[in-house]
Structure 1
Amino acid sequence: MQNKRNALLVPILTLGVFGILNTEMGVIGMIPLIAETFGVSVPTAGWTVTIFAIGIAICGPVTPMLFSRFNRKHVMLISLGVFIASSVIGMLTTDFWVLLVSRAVPAVFHPVYVSMAFTVAAASVPKNQGPKAVARIFIGVSAGMVLGVPAAGFIASEWSYAAAMGFFAVVNIAVFILTLLFVPSMPADGVKTYGEQVRILRRRELQLAVAAVILTNGTTFGFFSFLADYLKTETGLTYSVVSFVLFLYGAANIVGNVLAGKWLAQAPARTIRWTTAGLAAYLALIGVVGGTAIPMAIAVILFGILTGLSSNNSQYLISRAAHDAPEFGNGLFLSAANTGTAAGTALCGVFIAEWGIAASVAGALVCLALSAAVLLPAASRIERSLESERASAHDGCAYAVD
């Protein structure tokens, strides 16, 4: 029975992350329907997304640390329970302000569950296989965006807004039951005190890793935020074709997650360097093929793979720098990622306002240049550190033989 539970652990966590990302991002596909249902404007309905993102950015470093000293299984069940309750309230309420509150509260628990999923997945396998386990959790993140948004939009358009909220609840209820039955108890043994966890912020390596996450996410998601408009305006694609290309992007993102798990386990420094170079090549490429449909679609698939790699690289950098306070570190990752997304989107928006949608590439290049200044030295440090670890292990083996 214990072996069965261990085998199911990472798949359950992946499904759990899918359910939580689905609840967060799924409303994107039905904002016009929310506006119609509650009698508010579309920009006002957009706050159902914004308030969730703000909550994650604020609570990302805090709530995972606060809950890190409790049994992880219990905390995950509480988090899932909050998501279930919020979806049910959102399904039943007729008051827009109640809906906003029901969106704000689970945002507090989003980083708790996701950071613990990363931590538990990495801890469930040998150390050198940790990136592969974490990459499987990222598949849940990608699937939540790729499948959750169109699925929720389809359900809302075919049945109702309430039915889509019910869909969120059903997914999280299924994960709650699986967690209750098959996830083992995980007491928080040997966890640092809150003060000790906060003090890791003094580490130069961690400060640089946080900066790298912000700038890298600014590069990838700053441009991605305007990709649909770019494809329509610059490439000349119809809305239906744009939707299909974005689906291809999401599928490629999952491929990038799988590749990241394999490559980070084998050669993390090389993976970080090549991903950075690949993003530079991509941004240069769309300057050439951006106006041509098929080459641009191929470029978007490449972008999806690179974004999957980039997200895993960022989490790897922070988890390595905060190895002795994993929940706090993963919470920092989530907060930095959301901060980078907001900052990159704002920067690309400035470029677009001044020079048009094509200039969003320039905004992304600014973020990429800044991130490369952090990422490339970080890759070299990781390389030296791993070489030192291998040398120490070799010396230890030689001593044992002697």
Structure 2
Amino acid sequence: MPFPLYLLALAVFVMGTSEFMLAGLIPAAAADLDVTIGVAGLLTSAFAVGMVIGAPLMAAFARRWPPRLTLLVCLLAFAGCHVIGALTPDFSVLLISRALSAVATAGFLAVALSTATALVAPDRKGRALSILLAGTTIATVAGVPAGALLGEVLGWRATFWAIALLCVPAALGVLFGIPDGRRAHGLGTPTLRAELGVLASPPLILAMVLGAMINGGTFAVLTYLAPVATETAGLPDAWVPVVLVVFGSGSFLGVTIAGRLSDRRPGLVLAVGAPLLLVGWVVLASTAGCPASLIAIIFVQGMLSFGVGSTLIARVLYAASDAPTMGGSYATAALNIGAAAGPVLGAVALAGWRVPTAPIWVAGMLVATALILLGATRSARRANPSRRRRGDAVMR
């Protein structure tokens, strides 16, 4: 794999750490800024919304820019938002800076996905995607616990400063490691309308919906994993970072394995991994009261959820191959629609069922729905062979 891919993964690691670290900083930020924890929780919602709208918005706005310039602008804007967040005494300013940093993150990831797939052979998009997503999974393993520890020792603002400083080597890596290739102009480049028209493609719609469902289940569980560990399994609070590291370790293994299979055997990954993922969520919800079972299953579920989810996001890139400048934003949007919707559905389930394991059942229902949709699509392809070739963009 080209070395610039690993430089992009470094930046994704920094941004992933920022995205996930906030869960452990909200109580301290709420006390410092004199708002309730519920109001401080809007910081998470603002980031999620910014991620969903930021990917297509930034990709469309900067589609004629050189990829290296777009990546640098997004990365520097992201760093600047964290400097503002570290300095401001006003919650409203922090909220706005958080939303803008999410827009920059989404724009970076959208362009990074398109850039990564352009750096490799056309049939290795899944492998390139796995390297980028490895930056996110390593963030859950190392970045988030480190950020939580730093925030506990030096205060929540110190974590924002650390993220801003980590952007410096990431920016240097982009500046000196990413080729200064300019987007092609003229007849060879599809118009924005043509690239947006690709969104009407049934294989692309299917891949995006399935990817959003699987990732929605993943983030529903990940967001509320702490109360499952402490209230259901009875583990001390000090074990929460350990559980997150276990999940992140499984996630890293999952994207690594899927990256080697998703280009050539996506059907195998989905046919085997998705049913196992469903079974795993049911088993986890049923046995979460046993600490040993929780830790073992959460590792497996991290591996399966990110393996299946990353494979589906790779299929989005394949299905959007006729949208070279916007395809990465479609993959990013699918990923983050799930990341935004999953915690909301988990919160609704928690409010209704009043048990910490409710989000796990939500994850199971989302995966079950995805399997039903996938099965119905397969049946339709068998009944109408003329659709088979188009469906191959999602599964082979």
TM-score by length of 1: 0.88
Letter in 2 for 1:374: L
Once the two structures are overlaid, the 10-residue window that deviates more, 332-341 or 115-124, is 332-341
Q: Give the equivalent residue in structure 2 for 1:370.
A: 369
Structure 1 position 13, deviation (Å): 0.4
Partners of 2:155 and 2:226 in 1: how far apart?
25
Structure 1 position 54, deviation (Å): 1.0
After TM superposition, the structure 1 = structure 2 runs for residues 382-393 of structure 1, keeping only pairs within 5 Å, are 385=389
Letter in 2 for 1:204: P
* Correspondent of 1:27 among 22, 36, 39: 22
Residues 1:131 and 2:122 aligned together: no
* Correspondent of 1:224 among 200, 222, 230: 222
Shift in CA distance, 378/106, structure 1 to aligned 2, threshold 3 Å? farther
Structure 1 position 55, deviation (Å): 1.1
Mind listing any 5+ residue stretches in structure 1 that lack a counterpart? Answer: 1-5, 390-402
Q: Give the equivalent residue in structure 1 for 2:163.
A: 168
Q: Give the equivalent residue in structure 1 for 2:45.
A: 50
Letter in 2 for 1:9: P
Q: Is the 8 A contact 1:315 1:330 kept in 2?
A: no
Letter in 2 for 1:104: A
TM-score by length of 2: 0.89
1:269-316: CA deviations, max 9, x gaps? 111111111112202322553222212211111011012202212211
Residues 1:62 and 2:57 aligned together: yes
Partners of 1:366 and 1:18 in 2: how far apart?
30
Partners of 2:214 and 2:18 in 1: how far apart?
25
Residues 1:300 and 2:295 aligned together: no
1:339-386: CA deviations, max 9, x gaps? 2233333334343333333443432222112111233466797x9649
Partners of 1:223 and 1:23 in 2: how far apart?
19
Q: Is the 8 A contact 1:314 1:333 kept in 2?
A: no
RMSD of equivalent CA atoms: 2.5
Q: Give the equivalent residue in structure 1 for 2:7.
A: 12
Q: Is the 8 A contact 1:272 1:375 kept in 2?
A: no
Shift in CA distance, 387/52, structure 1 to aligned 2, threshold 3 Å? closer
Letter in 2 for 1:167: A
Q: Is the 8 A contact 1:273 1:376 kept in 2?
A: no
3-state SS of 2:68 partner: helix
After TM superposition, the structure 1 = structure 2 runs for residues 273-288 of structure 1, keeping only pairs within 5 Å, are 273-288=271-286
Alignment size in residue pairs:
384
Letter in 2 for 1:254: F
Q: Is the 8 A contact 2:50 2:106 kept in 1?
A: no
Partners of 1:372 and 1:223 in 2: how far apart?
18
Q: Give the equivalent residue in structure 2 for 1:398.
A: none
Partners of 1:119 and 1:360 in 2: how far apart?
33
**Which of structures 1 and 2 has the bigger CA Rg?**
1
Q: Is the 8 A contact 2:112 2:328 kept in 1?
A: no
Q: Give the equivalent residue in structure 2 for 1:113.
A: 108
Partners of 1:107 and 1:354 in 2: how far apart?
30
Partners of 2:198 and 2:392 in 1: how far apart?
22
Partners of 1:237 and 1:32 in 2: how far apart?
20
Structure 1 position 28, deviation (Å): 2.5
Identity over the aligned pairs, expressed in percent?
A: 26
Residues 1:38 and 2:33 aligned together: yes
Letter in 2 for 1:372: L
Letter in 1 for 2:323: A
Q: Give the equivalent residue in structure 2 for 1:360.
A: 359
Once the two structures are overlaid, the 10-residue window that deviates more, 218-227 or 265-274, is 218-227
1:165-197: CA deviations, max 9, x gaps? 111111111111122122210211143211111
Q: Is the 8 A contact 2:313 2:334 kept in 1?
A: no
Shift in CA distance, 340/33, structure 1 to aligned 2, threshold 3 Å? same
Q: Give the equivalent residue in structure 1 for 2:256.
A: 258
Letter in 2 for 1:166: W
Letter in 1 for 2:363: A
Structure 1 position 226, deviation (Å): 2.4
Shift in CA distance, 228/258, structure 1 to aligned 2, threshold 3 Å? same
Once the two structures are overlaid, the 10-residue window that deviates more, 293-302 or 23-32, is 23-32
Structure 1 position 164, deviation (Å): 1.5
Q: Is the 8 A contact 1:61 1:329 kept in 2?
A: no
Q: Give the equivalent residue in structure 2 for 1:79.
A: 74
